[in-house]
Structure 1
Amino acid sequence: MSGIAPGAAPGQALSRQEPAEAGQSFAAFLEEALARVEAQQREAQAAAVRLAAGQAPDLAAVILASEKATLSLQLAIAVRNKVIEAYQEIMRMPL
């Protein structure tokens, strides 16, 4: 057991470090991330409209914007599912 906490004497509590001051809350981080996803969706939609109107010079840029928006949305959905899963797991914990 001495290899678990090197430098700590038996019965001596390890010093507890305070967490670094957070720059923003988790909710603010999620809100910002969702705003970026929404902006990418709007950008992809605008690129598709420009393409349909014949104003988009590069089809590859339109496809790239669409794929970026799709991947961002899929990531946001995956994060949402993990948050819900974690919440449900916490709710199942006995008190």
Structure 2
Amino acid sequence: MTSPIGGVSFPTAITGLSGVTGAAATPDAAQTTGADDNGFASVLVSSVEELQAKQSTSDGLAVQAATGDLRDVHDYMIAANEAKLATEMVVTIKNKAVEAFNEIMRMPV
């Protein structure tokens, strides 16, 4: 049976989390110092960079569509929807991170 969302590819922000281990695992020195390339900050930076790339692609195709230089309008529609979904995903992740931070701040010490 074919998955209804089989054509959806996840951005590198999600696939970059493959190195995350459970809480029972002993972290190595690179993870505790934040020096590894798969840390939260690098995943966040790469997802924002990917979002910017999708938005600039969509903007470029929008300009081509407005000037009549775009051969296939569906290319613009696909790029615009990808940029929209990526923006919604980044905003949702940001909101969940802020919510988690606020929950931690409310914990009694």
Q: TM-score range by the shorter chain?
A: 0.7 to 0.9
Q: Distance in 2 between matches of 1:60 and 1:32?
A: 27
* Residue 72 (1) aligns with residue 80 (2): no
Aligned residues: 80
Instruction: Letter of the 2:106 partner, please give it.
Output: R
AA partner of residue 53 (structure 1): T
Give 4+ residue runs of structure 1 displaced > 6 Å after superposition.
Answer: none
Equivalence map 1:1-95=2 (5 Å): 17-19=25-27, 23-95=37-109
Residue identity opposite 2:43 in structure 1: F
Structure 1: segments with no counterpart, 5+ residues: 1-15
* Amino acid in the other structure paired with 2:86: S
Larger Cα-atom Rg: 1
Q: For 2:70, give the aligned amino acid.
A: A
Q: Normalization by structure 2: what TM-score?
A: 0.68
Query: Which residue is 2:9 aligned to?
Result: none
1:84–1:17: structure 2 CA closer, same or farther, 3 Å change rule?
Answer: closer
In 1, Cα distance between equivalents of 2:91 and 2:37: 24
Q: Which 5+ residue runs of structure 2 have no aligned equivalent?
A: 1-23
